[in-house]
Amino acid sequence: AGIFLYLWRPTSMSPVFQILNGTSAEAAADGGGGDITFPDDFPNSVKHFLLIGAVGMMVGAGIFLYLSMIRTKASLYHSLAFIMPAISAMSYYAMWTGMGVEFKTTDTSPRVIFWARYIDYVVTVPLLLIQLALIAKADTSAMVASTGNSVLFVIALLIGAMNVAPFKYMWWFGGVVFAVLIVVQLAGRYENATDIAKVLNTIGIVFIVVYPLIWLLGSEGTASLGLSQEVAFLTILDLVTKVGFGLYFLLNFEAATGDEVGPDGEPLNQQSQQYV
């Protein structure tokens, strides 16, 4: 708890912190040394959470790569589980070093926008839904529908982040519509699913529901959340969705897929061979 309180503390010397908390841009510039630049002007807590995200994703990707390499046969499931945190590790490291970050001054108040996160999500959210579709043995049309909706979901929120109020809230609403379509499809997969698959499905639904709420309350939306709180919530959400999801899935691989396993640890169910 002490560590989180330390990371959560505001950094009053940061120009970004001063501007986001009502101090004039001139005063912030006088106290902070002029133009806003990243990562120099990140509050310390933001730097720490971005670094935690980068390191956590790197560790998760390394574990998933190891679990994939020790198998006697290549597995699509393991490959997807590795690719997701690998992409997110690059995204978080880029944001930590100040890449893919913009100080947006065209909105009702200055905002910090993390563009690199959208590049991450437009790839990793569809990969998450592909994994859930494969686990559920969903047909191709259902898989294409869920992944397509996820791409539109992220793009709508990205365009919203580029816009200003009130127009950005229409894009947010469009993203929510695509999110509802995804959740409805995922909610229909609980029947006859294994207990492990139900937990994984729930993780996917939680991400799709929570992310638009953080968007609305964070820098892209109303800015009701402080920048440190927004980055903290999204870092935790990402680590649970990508590293936590992958660990729980791969350590319970056979139980999740419902396949019988042979002596070599490979599925015996011929119908599922296209997925493994």
Run of H or E residues at 223:
none
- Average pLDDT over the chain, rounded to an integer: 86
What's the mean pLDDT in 7-20? 50
**How confident is residue 254, by pLDDT bands cut at 50, 70 and 90?**
confident
pLDDT at 4 over 90: no
Residue 242 contacts residue 88 (beta carbons within 8 Å): yes
Query: What whole-number distance in Å separates Cα of residue 137 and Cα of residue 183?
Result: 17
pLDDT at 112 over 80: yes
**How confident is residue 132, by pLDDT bands cut at 50, 70 and 90?**
very high
pLDDT in tens, 156-170: 999 999 999 999 999
pLDDT at 25 over 70: no
Residue 13 contacts residue 45 (beta carbons within 8 Å): no
pLDDT at 24 over 70: no
The burial of 6, by beta-carbon neighbours within 10 Å (0-12 exposed, 13-18 middle, 19 or more buried), is given as: exposed
Fill in the amino acid letter for 91: S
**Measuring CA to CA, which residue among 251, 274, 273 is closest to residue 262?**
273
What's the mean pLDDT in 122-143? 96
Separation in Å, CA 194 to CA 127, 159, 266 = 21, 38, 18
pLDDT in tens, 201-232: 999 999 999 999 999 999 999 999 999 999 99
Residue 43 contacts residue 227 (beta carbons within 8 Å): yes
3-state SS class at 104: strand
- Dig out the tokens for 18 from the structure: 């001063």
pLDDT at 273 over 50: no
pLDDT value of residue 246: 97
3-state SS class at 45: helix
pLDDT value of residue 74: 85
Helices (H), ranges, the chain: 2-8, 15-20, 25-32, 44-69, 76-96, 115-135, 140-162, 167-187, 195-217, 227-238, 245-251, 253-257
pLDDT value of residue 261: 53
pLDDT at 104 over 80: yes
- Other residues' Cβ atoms within 10 Å of the Cβ of residue 172: 21
pLDDT at 177 over 50: yes
Fill in the amino acid letter for 230: E
